[in-house]
Amino acid sequence: MASISFPVGSTVAYAVPILELTGAVHQIQATFENGDHVFTSSDFKLGTVRVAGSRALIGRLTFRYSYDSSNKIITVCGTNYPSADGMTMMTMPEGMDNEACFEHAAATGFLADEVYRGGKWNYYSPLMPGAPERIKNIVRAANDALISALGEVPDLTVRVREILPELPVEDYLALCFVTRDGRVLEKYDPTKLYGLDDELHTPHSTFMGKEEWPDKIDFANVIGSTSDPRPPSKSWLDLWRTTMERDGPNCASLGFPEDVSCSGTSVGGHVICGRTAQKVDTGSNDVRIIPICRGHNGRNSTYMRTMKERWVVVLNNYMQ
């Protein structure tokens, strides 16, 4: 089992005649068991609501996770991942569980499910201006804090479910590829006419999300990944940058090993965990993309280590 503590709440107080959020921050204790589970936190006080008398406003967090204890990999939803599996905060006046409202971390949310509009407790009321944004921010911050706390657990790989970053149509089409008889044929060419048995694959079939690897974990190149279909106008490094919403380091393995001098511009390298560069079976979900220099990318005789970067893009159905 793995255990962490992460904060929920806001240091900024909020007060209107019908609702007061005190600005308190609570520490949530979470223990994760092997397999797929739904975590439910203990209750915590968010403030006071004047519904059916003056009552404490109670909060409760829930989210689904998957924990592979043998390989020390935990999977949770990203803060912007629009899924009912993601972080959700239930709020209700004390003693009135049947009046609960639900707020999801994902920015798009599930508005039809979030608010029980027929009840007495409804923070989307005009009497509580700005309350939905405050409560949404609390849930989003809690999910960010969860992911951050998991990243601090030694030797734990944190897999974060994400949707494919939004791309312009031309870039999206450039990421598509065609297979014939189960083998990659070529990048999709809109000027060509393909056969009835040819299959068009979209980027969604090759993108699973992102992972934060443990500090100083060993990884190696994937041999033969050059033919993995990639866009002509975008690179694997661009996909990594778009996913992480930031630029990456010159090389994730900068300075290791000492006999490899980082050289050339960075690329989005196809890598796997471990110390041995090897070919990977088609359809594997073990391949990752991480920024490395051309010096490391072209050398399969040695392994690398996460020295400057721990976040990787997770590829789904490698080479398919």
> pLDDT, tens digit, for every residue of 200-256?
877 655 778 899 999 999 999 999 877 665 544 467 888 888 888 888 788 999 999
What pLDDT is stored for residue 204 in this prediction? 58
Q: Given this model, what pLDDT does residue 231 score?
A: 47
Q: Which of 278, 314, 308, 281 is nearest to 293 (CA)?
A: 308
pLDDT at 133: 92
Burial (0-12, 13-18, 19+ Cβ within 10 Å), 217: middle
Bond prior to 257 in cis (omega within 30° of 0):
yes
Residues, the chain: 320
* Dihedral angle of Cα 224, 228, 234, 240, to the nearest 10 degrees: -80
Give me the pLDDT at residue 233, please.
44
Q: Report pLDDT for 142.
A: 97
In this predicted structure, what is the pLDDT of residue 320?
55
Cis omega (within 30 of 0) on the bond before 291?
A: no
Segments of the chain scoring below 50 in pLDDT = 231-233
| Distance between CA atoms of residues 278 and 286, nearest Å | 12
Confidence (pLDDT) at 232: 44
Q: How does pLDDT run across 78-94, given as a tens digit for each residue?
A: 999 988 899 999 999 99
What is the predicted pLDDT for the residue at 104? 92
Note the pLDDT of residue 178.
Answer: 85
Amino acid at 30: A
User: CB neighbours of 52 closer than 8 A, spacing ≥ 6?
Assistant: 93, 96, 120
Could you tell me the two tokens for 312? 């990787």
Pairing, β 157-161 against β 73-77: parallel
Tell me the whole-structure pTM to 2 decimals.
Answer: 0.80
Q: The tokens of 317 are what?
A: 């159905």
Q: What is the pLDDT of residue 270?
A: 92
